[in-house]
Amino acid sequence: MRFIDEYRNVDLGQKLVSRIHRVCTQPIKLMEFCGGHTTAILKYGIRQLLPQTVEMLSGPGCPVCVTTNADLDKAIALAHLPNVIITTFGDMMKVPGSYSSLQQAKADGADIRIVYSVRDALDITQNNPKKSVIFIGIGFETTAPTLAASILEAEQKEIKNFYVLSLLKLCPPAIKLLLMIALVGLSEVKLDGIVCPGHVSAIIGSYPWEFIPRQYNIACVISGFEPLDILLSLVMLIDQIELEKPKVEIAYRRGVKPEGNRQAQELMARVFEPTTATWRGIGKVPLGGLKLKKEYERFNAESTFSITPPLPREPKACLCGDILRGAKRPPECKLFGESCTPENPIGPCMVSSEGACAAYFHYGVSYG
């Protein structure tokens, strides 16, 4: 199958692994930002193939995982309002908030429906004209254009009962804050290179990552999600580090152009504007999220509906925040695999398919 089998070729993979072992002459610490990369790395045993001098850390690139309890509590509070239908992606259902979850709210009688796209949420809205339909808008730059398009469609069709709780995040500002904290010595994570997310970069391109080598002297390669994509990106990162010539490179040219997807960018810019957002494990990230522009404020669920979420609280002993920063690995959490499992998640990193804890649980802690 094109773009699948050819990117899982064993012979090519062995050549790339041999190249890594041959070229790498020093201890190197890399971070894969995206949860999709973490899952692929564990699934295919890529860490086991690397020299012991190459350490790979999982980063905060899971939109479900970085959604804070305070924001989850808002979604749950909205779900308990009368005549409201909540629409959400499925991996949000089991994420524990401070005191409950969307799954528990549904069990308690709230009308919460899993959708596979924002378009599904619009269809539900049109089929339920006497209900207020709220879409829980989580995601990165990948999700934002489709949400923007749906809002524009709702405006064009004069749909009055569609609302959005925007919990969207922007990735480059989060990486910048992580690197800035490390630079001033306030972080336990010092990186030599970053595997940047291919899906986000398909939208924003490679230019927004230029600050990484320019300001922080850190190597940067945009990768796809198949085993050979990731191995190629590691070869390119190690070459940059060994030559002491950090830059931004694209190892995923079938999906990413330097300029990105201009149409998607224009959709985002038309409907949303950057705002400070709180990321789990990182804190408040300047310009790290998206909010609706003033002209689309009528779609804003948070300002339209009166809710009083409880004071947020974090589960004791859960290390999700440390794991998202790359400061800890899932097996270092004493809850991992014991009281915290995919069937009974204590923290969000065990819920999402892109969560580091879920990936370690499914593919074995020995892969870490």
Q: Looking at the 3D structure of the chain, how many domains does it have? A: 2
Same domain, 362 and 274: no
Instruction: Say whether pLDDT at 128 is over 50.
Output: yes
Same domain, 223 and 355: no
Instruction: Say whether pLDDT at 254 is over 90.
Output: yes
Same domain, 132 and 249: yes
Per-residue confidence at 367, pLDDT binned at 50, 70, 90?
very low
Tell whether 306 is covered by a domain.
no
Name 328's Cβ contacts closer than 8 Å, sequence gap at least 6: 319, 322
Whole-number pLDDT of residue 166: 98
Task: Give the β-pairing of 272-279 and 283-292.
Answer: antiparallel
Tell whether 137 is covered by a domain.
yes
Instruction: Say whether pLDDT at 292 is over 50.
Output: yes
Instruction: Say whether pLDDT at 211 is over 70.
Output: yes
Whole-number pLDDT of residue 365: 56
Whole-number pLDDT of residue 187: 66
Same domain, 246 and 195: yes
Domain range enclosing 176: 1-300+311-317
Same domain, 344 and 227: no
Same domain, 236 and 343: no
Same domain, 208 and 162: yes
Task: Give the β-pairing of 28-34 and 111-114.
Answer: unpaired
Tell whether 354 is covered by a domain.
yes
Asked if 288 contacts 177 with a C-beta cutoff of 8 angstroms, the reply is yes
- pLDDT (tens digit per residue) in 53-99: 999 999 999 999 999 999 999 999 999 999 999 999 999 999 999 99
Same domain, 143 and 199: yes
Per-residue confidence at 4, pLDDT binned at 50, 70, 90?
confident
Instruction: Say whether pLDDT at 1 is over 60.
Output: no
Asked if 246 contacts 209 with a C-beta cutoff of 8 angstroms, the reply is no
Tell whether 276 is covered by a domain.
yes
Q: List Cα–Cα distances, 230 to 96, 251, 263, 318, in angstroms.
A: 31, 8, 27, 29
AA identity, residue 47: R
CATH number, domain of 133, equals 3.40.50.11740
* Residue-wise DSSP of 243-298: HT---EEES-TTT--TT--HHHHHHHHHHEEEEEEEETTTEEEEEEEEEE-GGGGG
- pLDDT (tens digit per residue) in 164-199: 999 999 999 999 999 998 876 666 778 999 999 999
Please give the average per-residue pLDDT across 124-132, as a whole number: 97
Per-residue confidence at 368, pLDDT binned at 50, 70, 90?
very low
Confirm whether pTM is higher than 0.85.
yes
> How far does the chain reach from its first CA to its final CA, in angstroms?
30
Same domain, 282 and 141: yes
Whole-number pLDDT of residue 115: 97
- pLDDT (tens digit per residue) in 301-339: 999 999 999 999 998 899 999 999 999 999 999 999 999
Tell whether 305 is covered by a domain.
no
